[in-house]
């Protein structure tokens, strides 16, 4: 009875994996990116062209060394195998690039949101500073006020403020009298008239 229950328990209990295959997925992805980048270069294209030309030349003209005669089935198999591995490697490299682009886009969005918040904060601070400066007496305002006070003082007492200009004596108007008994109308000034 105990053997049957222990066998049943062994069958119901999942067994851990017998093969432990630990591999660095990041390292494999980096290596696949390097291979995908190399597959997209002109250097790889030139190397592959030289190999194909030599392959065809040997299999057509060297009769004793022909390992892949005219239909070149082995060359087609090599190209098919290369395409079967190259496509997933290129897709893996594109997926990694997409992940990097997503992270970069998210960082750009965060930076743009922070920049927008900073700009709005600075705009509010600038507006409050403008309002505060509007209530402060500026140099131009004080200069205008002083000029207004000077104009008022000049109107009140012009003699005291014009000390810099020399005073000229006031001219008195002479009194003109007509003398009777003279021919013609000639004006003569009497010596006492100037004193009046």
43 vs 142: CA distance, rounded Å:
78
pLDDT, tens digit, for every residue of 88-106?
Answer: 888 888 888 898 999 999 9
Neighbour tally for 93: CB within 10 Å? 20
What is the model's pLDDT at position 186? 44
98 vs 120: CA distance, rounded Å:
33
82 vs 84: CA distance, rounded Å:
5
pLDDT, tens digit, for every residue of 62-83?
Answer: 777 778 888 888 989 999 999 9
Helices (H), 13-138: 25-39, 42-61, 73-134
Report the pLDDT averaged over residues 41-61: 90
- State the DSSP code for 191: T
Report pTM: 0.43
Is residue 160 over pLDDT 60? no
Residue spans of the domains in the chain: they are 24-119
The HSE-up count of residue 59 (CA atoms within 13 Å, CB side) is 15
pLDDT over 70 for what percent of the chain? Answer: 66
What phi and psi values does residue 177 have, to the nearest 5 degrees? -120, 145
């Amino acid at each position: 009875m105990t053997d049957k229950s222990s066998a049943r328990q062994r069958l119901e209990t999942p067994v851990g994996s017998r093969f432990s295959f630990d591999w660095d997925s990041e390292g494999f992805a980096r290596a696949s990116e390097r291979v995908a980048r190399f597959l997209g270069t002109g250097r790889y294209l030139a190397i592959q062209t030289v190999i194909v030309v030599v392959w065809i030349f040997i299999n057509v003209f060297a009769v004793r060394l022909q390992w892949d005669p005219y239909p070149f089935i082995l060359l087609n198999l090599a190209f098919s195998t290369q395409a079967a591995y190259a496509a997933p490697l290129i897709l893996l490299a594109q997926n990694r690039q997409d992940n990097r682009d997503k992270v970069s886009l998210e960082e750009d969005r965060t930076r743009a949101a922070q920049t927008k918040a900073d700009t709005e904060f600075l705009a509010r601070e600038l507006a409050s500073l403008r309002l505060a400066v509007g209530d402060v007496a500026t140099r131009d305002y004080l200069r205008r006020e002083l000029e207004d006070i000077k104009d008022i003082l000049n109107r009140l007492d012009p003699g005291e403020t014009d000390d810099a200009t020399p005073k000229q004596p006031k001219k008195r108007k002479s009194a003109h009298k007509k003398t009777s008994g003279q021919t013609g109308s000639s004006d003569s000034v009497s010596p006492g008239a100037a004193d009046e």
